[in-house]
Structure 1
Amino acid sequence: MRRVAAVPLLGAALLSGLALPTVARAADAQGLVDALRTVAGKPPGVRATFARGQCVRGTYTPSADVGAVTRSISFTRPWPLVGRFSVGGGNPAVPDTARTVLRGFSIKILSDGGDTHLLFENAPVHFARTLDQMLGFLQARAPRADGKPDQEAIASFAKANPETTRQAAFVAAKPLPASYAGIVYWGVHTFTGVSAAGQAVPFKFKVVPAAGELALSDEEARSKPPQFLAAELAERLSRNPVRFDVMALLAEPGDDLAADVTQRWRNEDDRRAVRLGTIAVMAVEPNETCDDGIFDPGQLADGIGAPKDEIFTARRTAYGLSFGLRAK
């Protein structure tokens, strides 16, 4: 296993089992959830995406600088948290050795009377700019009668919608993650903090592992079992907590704060960031703890304003719908 120095870097999905429609229709959260499940083969009792994962518990500890970004009770005091590391897609059998599949990290900061839920992924952009584009992206990957997607339809959609290729290109350019504990995770959307001084502070979340980025060579990856990440994490936690710095990547004049989540900010890797605090993952938690509810992206304590882009707005409804389906 080789260690890659931690550098600034930050979800993926999939849709309908039908051919591309001859009449355009507006996408909504229900249609997206249905499509995600269809592409994955509609496995019962699992999430529409990030179906397989490992629940964990830990703590959040604020930094001395947090007030420059937010006055939120969730971030300005120490709290316990519940988290879930995961592998992208709606198929729980997706192998950890699939290099181009997203990795996710969701957390609930259990701040009494004002919990905050956050969703992070190992790419800095989403794979679609709008809900309709997301629908089209997934429909292009719909299985045909033989159970396989039409590669010509995928290529045609990508040519007409080049921004939908950015997330996949970012993930494909990275080596295979060796551990959930060695991944840089991103928030993708632009949040707005209210600082201790009452000022609005637009920013993006970035979660940076204390261990640096941990990656496998192609040769090392071939020796791994299909699902190794949960076992690797449990073994690592038996020795020491796993720590991450929670960073706020600050907006600059001219940044797009509400629209295109397939685009990074200019010079994003080099701009100023404030450390909000530290996550310490202490132990593996039974998956039922995470599966009995959702990580609700709209659950934000006062002092953190929700992103304004339509992808984020749809996430809250979609997560609730997905929970209802898997709870049946």
Structure 2
Amino acid sequence: MFRAVAVPVIGAAVLTLPTLPTPAQAADTQSLVDALRAAAGKPPGVRATFAKGQCVRGTYTPSADAGQVTRSLSFTRPWPLVGRFSVGGGNPSAPDTTKTVLRGFSIKILSEGGDTHLLFENAPVHFARTLDQMLGFLQVRAPGPDGKANPEAIAAFAKANPETTRQSAFVAGKPLPGSYAGIVYWGVHTFTGTNLAGQTVPFKFKVVPGAGEIGLSDEEAKGKSAQFLVAELTERIARAPVTFDVVALLAEPGDDLTGDITQRWKNEDERRALKLGTIAVDALEPNETCDEGIFDPGRLADGLGAPDDEIFAARRTAYGISFGQRAK
């Protein structure tokens, strides 16, 4: 499915983790978390988004080509991992049969001397270009006095901000996911690897299911319960580990590396890809294992540079704020 290629030298500098947010950015991030919770009706004790999910455990095994992209111990050696499959939004009881809601997959590669945490979702783009746009998107979806959002306000915002419709259009164009194990997940942001030769390699993560994409027709979906995904995953893992290829989509000249994450790179599905390794999920894990902390998007082992866009910079703060609220 993927072919190994020579990785171009993009530059000699190594990206570093983003600096701590300024007070103004932290205030914006608090507003985002509040808006996420408001859009979901403020259920207590749950994540601000991707509130519904199942913790799992497994392993990561590197491919022979991983060192062409990154020297990171997390990706060039085998390790155990903890993961969490999830359904988007802040409703912990969201029906699995809702087609337009995002599905997520978060992992912690438990590499000695420096773990790596990564967040993936079943769309290759984010739903907002800037923090202000993200806040506006969420605020128009807050329930009114009748407990419902105003569809006219949502439509007006979408018309004024067309880039906020790209993610939902992508998800709506796919069949309802029939299994957590049959979803293609993306990292959305541009990371920068420092490879074994000391070269910097910008790329995006793509996580491809070994079982292929598993989708349900509208008729098949009618026969599914609102909570079928975990039951299906349980039965599947009992037969064999669930596997995914972790793939690096390599940047090309002219790609936007730091700006609009509501847009894909040109010909992204057809471009050069390099397999970093394989994830094998072999057991369900008690949800308490995942709930006792966070999947911290800023936690990256040496050899993997953080994305340089404002949405990613806000995410680390947002996850910490959300954890503090649900832990009360």
TM score, norm. by length of structure 1: 0.92
Q: Unpaired segments of 5 or more residues in structure 2?
A: 3-24
Q: Is contact 1:27-1:135 (8 Å) kept?
A: no
CA distance in 1, matches of 2:100, 2:106: 19
Counterpart residue number, 1:257 = 257
CA distance in 1, matches of 2:32, 2:275: 35
Say whether 1:164 aligns with 2:164.
Answer: yes
After TM superposition, give the deviation of residue 314 of structure 1 in Å.
Answer: 0.3
Counterpart residue number, 1:188 = 188
Runs of 4+ aligned structure 1 residues displaced above 2 Å come to none
Q: Deviations over 1:264-294 (max 9, x none)?
A: 0000000000000000001000000000000
Q: Is contact 2:124-2:264 (8 Å) kept?
A: yes
Q: Deviations over 1:117-175 (max 9, x none)?
A: 00000000000000000001111112111111111110110000000000000000000
Counterpart residue number, 1:17 = none
Q: Read off the aligned partner of 2:314 and give its amino acid letter.
A: A
> Aligned residues, how many?
306
TM score, norm. by length of structure 2: 0.92
Counterpart residue number, 1:306 = 306
Identical residues among aligned pairs (%): 80
After TM superposition, give the deviation of residue 93 of structure 1 in Å.
Answer: 1.1
CA distance in 2, matches of 1:241, 1:60: 12
Q: Deviations over 1:164-193 (max 9, x none)?
A: 000000000000000000000000000000
Q: Is contact 2:41-2:142 (8 Å) kept?
A: no
Q: Is contact 1:182-1:213 (8 Å) kept?
A: yes
After TM superposition, give the deviation of residue 297 of structure 1 in Å.
Answer: 0.1
Q: Is contact 1:57-1:284 (8 Å) kept?
A: yes
CA distance in 1, matches of 2:240, 2:161: 45
After TM superposition, give the deviation of residue 231 of structure 1 in Å.
Answer: 0.8
Counterpart residue number, 2:40 = 40
Counterpart residue number, 1:178 = 178
After TM superposition, give the deviation of residue 26 of structure 1 in Å.
Answer: 10
Counterpart residue number, 2:52 = 52
CA distance in 2, matches of 1:119, 1:277: 16
Counterpart residue number, 1:71 = 71
After TM superposition, give the deviation of residue 87 of structure 1 in Å.
Answer: 0.2
Say whether 1:89 aligns with 2:89.
Answer: yes
Q: Deviations over 1:5-41 (max 9, x none)?
A: 99xxxxxxxxxxxxxxxxxx99711000011111111
Q: Is contact 1:55-1:285 (8 Å) kept?
A: yes
Counterpart residue number, 1:116 = 116
Q: Read off the aligned partner of 2:202 and give its amino acid letter.
A: P
Q: Read off the aligned partner of 1:28 and give its amino acid letter.
A: D
CA distance in 1, matches of 2:28, 2:265: 27
Q: Unpaired segments of 5 or more residues in structure 1?
A: 7-24
Q: Secondary structure at the match of 2:269?
A: helix
Q: Deviations over 1:295-316 (max 9, x none)?
A: 0000000000000000000000
CA distance in 1, matches of 2:322, 2:112: 26
CA distance in 2, matches of 1:212, 1:125: 21
CA distance in 1, matches of 2:239, 2:274: 29
Q: Read off the aligned partner of 1:287 and give its amino acid letter.
A: N
Q: Read off the aligned partner of 1:65 and give its amino acid letter.
A: D
CA distance in 2, matches of 1:144, 1:42: 13
Q: Secondary structure at the match of 1:75?
A: helix
The equivalences for 1:221-232 within 5 A come to 221-232=221-232
After TM superposition, give the deviation of residue 224 of structure 1 in Å.
Answer: 0.3
Q: Is contact 1:56-1:283 (8 Å) kept?
A: yes
137-146 or 66-75, which moves further after superposition?
137-146
Counterpart residue number, 1:20 = none
CA distance in 2, matches of 1:104, 1:211: 17
* Cα RMSD for the two superposed structures: 1.4
